[in-house]
Homo-oligomer: A and B are copies of this chain.
Amino acid sequence: MHEFEKVFSAIFPFWPSLREEEKQNLLSATRAVDYAQGEVLHEGSSCAGLTIVCEGCIRVSILSEEGREITLYRLERGDFCLLSASCVLEAVTFDVQFVAEKASRALILNAGAFSALAQAHPEVEIFALNKTVERFSDVMWVMQQILFRSLDCRLATFLVDESVRTQSDVLTLTHEDIARNIASAREAVSRLLKYFEGEGLVALSRGKVTLLDKRALRALAQ
């Protein structure tokens, strides 16, 4: 079995239904690339191809003209994203940046080869569009966090206050406890805690939240 085939069969639900020739076309249109920490994989409207992360972590963000950036989401082992192949989807008219957050290895599947397959198979196109709409949902969540700030501010405030109150950086609290304390929903708190973890602010384990960067949390709390 081709070394990429295992990856493709895990992430593409349509893989088993492709003809052998189509599989070979995709496999030969794919290359494995290693990225150093901080390396930019994709920028602007270039259309290198689909990014499939094998190892490491790729951060997807939008950039301002002045170079300010906002993290939209992260791609980890087994995740993939079409926004580095936006030419595949005509309806995508915005640019994002992909940066290796740590040393990473990714498969890059040529955009043209994937496009051709999507044109031949509606289920491939539906799959690609659905994955992009899922990213839309991720981005809406980030947008609400950033624009309304209230929940992240409340969560950071609560964590810092609790740490002072208990004189410990390790808080023995479930997400449910925290949600109740800041008058929010457990799902919202869990998602935001995970985001905080991704940003290096806290570490999460069962029934525990460990504060890693109190300075940043205090800044958020203001």
Interface of A with B (CB < 8 Å)?
62, 64-66, 68, 70, 89-94, 122-123, 125-126, 129-137, 139-141, 143-144, 146-148, 150-151, 183-184
Contact = CB atoms under 8 A, between A and B. Distances in A.
A123 B123 CA distance: 10
A23 B148 CA distance: 43
Nearest to A135: B136
Contacts of A125: 122, 126
Chain A interface helix/strand/loop/mixed: helix
Nearest to A96: B140
A86 to B, nearest CB: 10
Given A92-B133, A126-B126, A139-B143, A150 B62 contact: no
A146 B206 CA distance: 32
Given A91-B131, A129-B130, 11 more contacts: A62-B144, A68-B147, A68-B148, A90-B130, A91-B130, A91-B133, A93-B137, A122-B123, A132-B133, A136-B136, A147-B183
